[in-house]
Copies of this chain bind each other. A is one copy, B any other.
Amino acid sequence: MAIIKKTYKDQVVDHVYQLLLTNELNPGDQLKETLLAEQMGISRAPIREAMKELIMNGLVDYRPQVGNFIPVFSPQQIIDSYTTRGVLEGYAVMSACALFSTEEIDKLENLTVQMESYAVKKNHKMVIDTGGEFHDLLISKCDNVQLLEYTDRLSLKLHILFFKYWGKLYSSTEIGGRHRKIVESVKAQDLNLIEKVVRQHYVETGSKIAEIEG
């Protein structure tokens, strides 16, 4: 039973994700309901439904009576978004750091090594995937539904809108070093340090991307 029925709305959302990830949509572009509806052979109703979801996840800017636009971020706003992710993830990791098993810590260390290795080989896709796995595991012990909701949304937003820059982000030593610092702080169960290094990780990531984008 692999067939998952999707509503038109969901298909539209996926469609826009693809358009963003393949750079067919750029910051400032307007998503015209009529046009999208024509292109997908459906009516405007599900397009509008999809827009609301995209807006909710921060992937689309809405201007009443005018339309929906791919957001344009200033360098500072990029930094702000990553900073916010860091604040949320920092707390998530810190608040549940006692719950990691030794196997999971090992896993985190292995992922770090893999990431470095992929970075050396310039296999950016795998760097990103491994990084995703790392951060997912890192926050997996947190059970604050509200906080995770925001973390996930922000994660999706940053992933989709800035995916194109991630390849240029790190040298292999930087990416390894940063993640190693996080693992070390968790191993040490140093609450203050955990929040500090996680935040730092995201602020630096955001700054780098803001630099590239600006």
Q: Which A19-58 residues have a C-beta within 8 angstroms of B?
A: 48-49, 52-53, 55-56
Residue of B nearest to A10 (CB): B64
User: Known: A52-B52, A150-B150. Is A80-B7 also a contact (CB below 8 A)?
Assistant: no
A144 touches B84 (CB 8 A): yes
B80 touches A91 (CB 8 A): no
Q: Within the complex, what minimum Cβ distance (angstroms) separates A176 from chain B? A: 27
Q: CB of A145 within 8 A of chain B?
A: yes
What is the total number of residues of chain A having a CB less than 8 Å from a CB of chain B?
23
Residue of B nearest to A77 (CB): B145
Q: CB of A146 within 8 A of chain B?
A: yes
A83 touches B52 (CB 8 A): no
Interface string of A66-84 (1 = CB under 8 A from B): 0000000000010011011
Chain A interface helix/strand/loop/mixed: helix
- In the bound complex, CA of A212 to CA of B131 (Å): 42
- In the bound complex, CA of A56 to CA of B55 (Å): 9
Q: CB of A183 within 8 A of chain B?
A: no
Q: Within the complex, what minimum Cβ distance (angstroms) separates A131 from chain B? A: 21
Chain B residues with Cβ under 8 A from A147's Cβ?
80, 83-84, 87
Residue of B nearest to A78 (CB): B146
Most central of A64, A80, A81, A84 by chain B CB within 10 Å? A84
Q: Within the complex, what minimum Cβ distance (angstroms) separates A53 from chain B? A: 8
User: Known: A52-B56, A56-B55, A87-B87. Is A77-B146 also a contact (CB below 8 A)?
Assistant: yes
Chain B residues with Cβ under 8 A from A145's Cβ?
77, 80
A interface residues (Cβ-Cβ under 8 A, vs B): 7, 48-49, 52-53, 55-56, 64, 77, 80-81, 83-84, 87-88, 91, 144-147, 150, 154, 192
Q: 6 A-B contacts, Cβ less than 8 Å apart?
A: A49-B52, A52-B53, A80-B144, A80-B145, A83-B147, A88-B88
